[in-house]
Amino acid sequence: MTVGSVASKANKIAIVTGGSRGLGRNTVLHLAARGVDSILTYRVNRAEAQAVVRQVEQAGQRALAIALDTGKNATFDAFVEQVRRSLSQWGVERFDYLVNNAGISHHAPIEETTEQDFDDLYNVHFKGVFFLTQKLLPLINDGGRIVNISSGLTRVAFPGSASYASMKGAVEVLTRYLAKELGPRRIAVNTVAPGAVETDFSGGMVRDNPEVNRMVAGATALGRAGVPDDIGPMIAALLAEDNRWVNAQRIEVSGGMAL
**Residues labelled catalytic:** 164
Q: Hey, which residues does 122 pair with through a beta bridge?
A: none
Closest CA to 24 of 48, 5, 2, 3: 48
H-helix or E-strand spanning residue 57: helix 46-58
Q: Residue 142, SS3?
A: strand
Q: Rounded to an integer, what distance in angstroms lies between the CA atom of residue 120 and that of residue 108?
A: 14
* Helices (H) then strands (E): counts for the chain: 10, 7
CA distances from 139 to 1, 11, 43, 186, 242 (A): 17, 15, 22, 14, 23
Burial class (CB in 10 A: 0-12, 13-18, 19+), 173: exposed
Q: Rounded to an integer, what distance in angstroms lies between the CA atom of residue 230 and that of residue 237?
A: 12
Say which residues have a Cβ less than 8 Å from residue 145's Cβ, sequence separation at least 6: 96, 97, 98, 187, 188, 189, 190, 238, 239
The four Cα atoms 61, 253, 20, 185 give a dihedral, to 10 degrees, of: 60
∠ CA 191-196-202, rounded to 5° = 100
